[in-house]
Amino acid sequence: MSSTTTEPRRYDHLIDGTSVPSDADRLIRRDPSSGQLVAEYAHAGQGDVDLAVAAARRAFDDGPWPRLSGADRARLLRRFASLVDGARERLARLDSEEVGKPISIARGELQGVVAHIEYAASLAHTERGDAWTTLDTDFVAYASQVPLGVAALVVPWNFPALILAQKLPYALAAGCTTVIKPSEFTSSSAVEMVRLAHEAGIPAGAVNLVTGLGPTTGQTLTSHPDVDVVSFTGSTQTGRLVASAAGHNLKRIGLELGGKAANVVFADADLDRAADAAVYAAFINQGECCVSGARLLVQRSVADEFVAEVARRTRTLRVGSPADEATDIGPLIHGEHLERVLGYVTAGHESDATAITGGERLTDDGLDDGWFVAPTIFTGVAPTDRIFQEEIFGPVLSVVEFDDADDAVRLGNDTVYGLANALWTSDIATAHRVSARLRSGTVWVNTNVDGAPALAFGGTKDSGIGREVGHEGLREFTESKTIQIRSGNRQLPFPRRTGGTA
Ligand code: NDP
């Protein structure tokens, strides 16, 4: 089965508006549904990373971008949004092919990409500081938000264009210059988006990109002394490495890391809508999603009926080629990840849990060349089981029953992660009380895997540090600078005036 119709794409780094070939070996990407070669990228070593950071440094220290008015930055970002809008279908196809995500899902994400750039443009136009006008006679102060400098943006493979759009336009709106490092598996849409940013008129040195591997290119970039702020999305394990390097260099960091969201369904909820959302939240993007509703908590009185319905709807999902309009679930990102996910499925089978649907790799009906796993639901899961505790990042849903709100909150918070949770109820008091007690950056009520560019996103606990997107997302790339102005005399304790003139 193949979703590829063209020659493999071949990309170099984009540094200061110029295509720069690799100073190290090159990398290849294969379509995870077919194994077919689809792209070849440069691999940045120290030399390429130095060049890219130097270009961003020059553009920040001496270039026009940080000095443009907010209105001018907004205008160029809107032009960028419009070019991305025109390229949506092509970008969606690139992400679909390299991630293995169904094309229908990729198209939705590209709408989100455009929305983020447009929203960031509005922030560039409207960002403002603070003023203190009642400090004292003849003494006023104002604080402006100044860009932090050179931003390193490190993006994972699961939502390549969307996660880039949660960082790049906000960094640019703030006046930062950037060096992007996309995932080694899914770099194409990022390269194409950088070209569109240049075409829009955003100065070349303000947006640079190096492709390559995490432990080489990524590590070199995030620990580079000339980088001022690192915005990283990826695993908690890698996030710790980035944080310790940034701690050593005293850089600002934003970390968006792993998750293990609970999806809490109370008996009084609209169970029909909740069942659809439970399937969607667990299996969107094959479960390769940091906010997947991977732990389904259902109130005991409705659990049997509700879970049976979720399983029935899950069996209607179509697993297949990402290029097929009818596909709901594509392949996993690569063979190593498939083995990891299947390891969790085995752990589920070996515990007292029962796979009521799925529970295996799919190799029939033309799926044999790809990394396909059947959407899987385990019931009878103990909260201590690995499948309930650890981030699987695949299409595996664990179901646990609860008795009351206290029990639901205890189970929901029984995780090292705190990125997002969801709850379903028709009682507004339950909605308020439970959402207040669930420890995560986001809580969805009667919805799941939802959002808008205005709404800050990020995690507590092992899910990260800081908030992305929205106004808080812009502020990740700025710091305040206070200007204090005294227009009259100030009484100083010394030098003492003893009368007469000195
Ligand atoms: P990784 O942490 O492996 O990689 C993320 C990015 O960091 C990639 O570009 C990767 O490059 C790079 N990288 C890897 N090692 C280093 C390093 N030592 N120094 C600097 N950069 C490095 O995560 P995955 O790509 O595997 O993504 C999946 C993970 O990301 C999941 O755990 C998921 O929960 C999390 N995630 C979190 C999100 C959030 O918003 N909170 C959103 C999406 C995913 P390369 O690809 O070449 O290895």
Residue nearest (by alpha carbon) to ligand 1 atom 19: 219
Taking the CA of residue 259 as reference, the ligand 1 atom at the shortest distance is: 34
- Alpha-helical (H) ranges within 284-370 are 300-314, 335-350
For residue 235 and ligand 1, the question of a CB distance below 6 A is answered with yes
pLDDT-derived band at 498 (thresholds 50, 70, 90) equals confident
**1, pLDDT greater than 60:** no
Q: Is residue 408 part of a domain?
A: yes
**316, pLDDT greater than 80:** yes
Instruction: Please indicate, yes or no, whether residues 288 and 253 belong to a single structural domain of this protein.
Output: no
- Rounded CA-CA distance 416/138 in Å is 52
For the chain, the helix, strand and coil percentages under 3-state DSSP, each to the nearest 5: 40, 25, 40
Report the 10 Å Cβ neighbour count for 457: 23
**111, pLDDT greater than 70:** yes
Q: What's the confidence (pLDDT) of residue 366?
A: 81
Instruction: Please indicate, yes or no, whether residues 249 and 267 belong to a single structural domain of this protein.
Output: no
Tens-digit pLDDT profile for residues 426-446: 999 999 999 999 999 999 999
Which of 290, 309, 391, 468 is catalytic? The answer is 290
Instruction: Please indicate, yes or no, whether residues 312 and 183 belong to a single structural domain of this protein.
Output: no
Q: What rounded mean pLDDT belongs to the chain?
A: 95
Pocket test for ligand 1, best of 216, 233, 337 (most atoms within 8 A of CB): 233
- Rounded CA-CA distance 192/94 in Å is 10
Whether 289 is a known active-site residue: answer no
Q: Is residue 404 part of a domain?
A: yes
**499, pLDDT greater than 70:** no
From ligand 1's centre to the CA of 476, what distance in Å? 19
Which of 394, 428, 445 marks a domain boundary?
Answer: 445
- Rounded CA-CA distance 281/262 in Å is 10
Q: Is residue 489 part of a domain?
A: no
| Count of structural domains within the chain | 2
Whether 256 is a known active-site residue: answer yes
pLDDT-derived band at 502 (thresholds 50, 70, 90) equals very low
Percent of the chain with pLDDT over 70: 98
pLDDT-derived band at 249 (thresholds 50, 70, 90) equals confident
Q: Is residue 6 part of a domain?
A: no
Query: Nearest Cα to 218, choosing from 248, 257, 188, 181?
Result: 181
Taking the CA of residue 237 as reference, the ligand 1 atom at the shortest distance is: 2
From ligand 1's centre to the CA of 295, what distance in Å? 22
Instruction: Please indicate, yes or no, whether residues 236 and 373 belong to a single structural domain of this protein.
Output: no
Tens-digit pLDDT profile for residues 342-367: 999 999 999 999 999 999 999 987 89
From ligand 1's centre to the CA of 373, what distance in Å? 21
Per-residue exposure over 56-81, b if at least 16 CB sit within 10 Å of its own CB, e if not: bbebbeebebbebebeebbbbbbbbb
Domain harbouring 145, CATH code: 3.40.605.10
Residue nearest (by alpha carbon) to ligand 1 atom 39: 256
Average pLDDT over residues 210-223: 96
Which of 407, 426, 445 marks a domain boundary?
Answer: 445
Token look-up 């049997």 returns: 304
Tens-digit pLDDT profile for residues 323-348: 999 999 999 999 999 999 999 999 99
Q: What's the confidence (pLDDT) of residue 364?
A: 85
**500, pLDDT greater than 70:** no
For residue 164 and ligand 1, the question of a CB distance below 6 A is answered with no
Instruction: Please indicate, yes or no, whether residues 239 and 332 belong to a single structural domain of this protein.
Output: no
Name, in order, each residue with C-beta under 8 angstroms of 422's C-beta and a sequence gap of 6 or more: 261, 262, 263, 264, 277, 281, 293, 443, 444, 445, 447, 448
Instruction: Please indicate, yes or no, whether residues 241 and 269 belong to a single structural domain of this protein.
Output: no
Instruction: Please indicate, yes or no, whether residues 40 and 150 belong to a single structural domain of this protein.
Output: yes
Q: What's the confidence (pLDDT) of residue 484?
A: 97
- Rounded CA-CA distance 396/383 in Å is 15
Instruction: Please indicate, yes or no, whether residues 140 and 184 belong to a single structural domain of this protein.
Output: yes
Q: Is residue 248 part of a domain?
A: yes
pLDDT-derived band at 21 (thresholds 50, 70, 90) equals confident
Instruction: Please indicate, yes or no, whether residues 288 and 407 belong to a single structural domain of this protein.
Output: yes
Full domain range(s) for residue 116: 12-257
Q: Is residue 208 part of a domain?
A: yes
Q: Is residue 496 part of a domain?
A: no
Domain harbouring 324, CATH code: 3.40.309.10
Report which residue type is found at 423.
Answer: L
Which of 118, 184, 256, 476 is catalytic? The answer is 256
Q: What's the confidence (pLDDT) of residue 2?
A: 42
pLDDT-derived band at 497 (thresholds 50, 70, 90) equals confident
Q: Is residue 354 part of a domain?
A: yes
For residue 155 and ligand 1, the question of a CB distance below 6 A is answered with yes
- Rounded CA-CA distance 341/343 in Å is 5
Instruction: Please indicate, yes or no, whether residues 268 and 197 belong to a single structural domain of this protein.
Output: no
- Rounded CA-CA distance 96/107 in Å is 9
Residue nearest (by alpha carbon) to ligand 1 atom 42: 290
Instruction: Please indicate, yes or no, whether residues 104 and 235 belong to a single structural domain of this protein.
Output: yes
Which of 199, 231, 257 marks a domain boundary?
Answer: 257
Instruction: Please indicate, yes or no, whether residues 246 and 307 belong to a single structural domain of this protein.
Output: no
- Rounded CA-CA distance 372/360 in Å is 9
For residue 219 and ligand 1, the question of a CB distance below 6 A is answered with yes
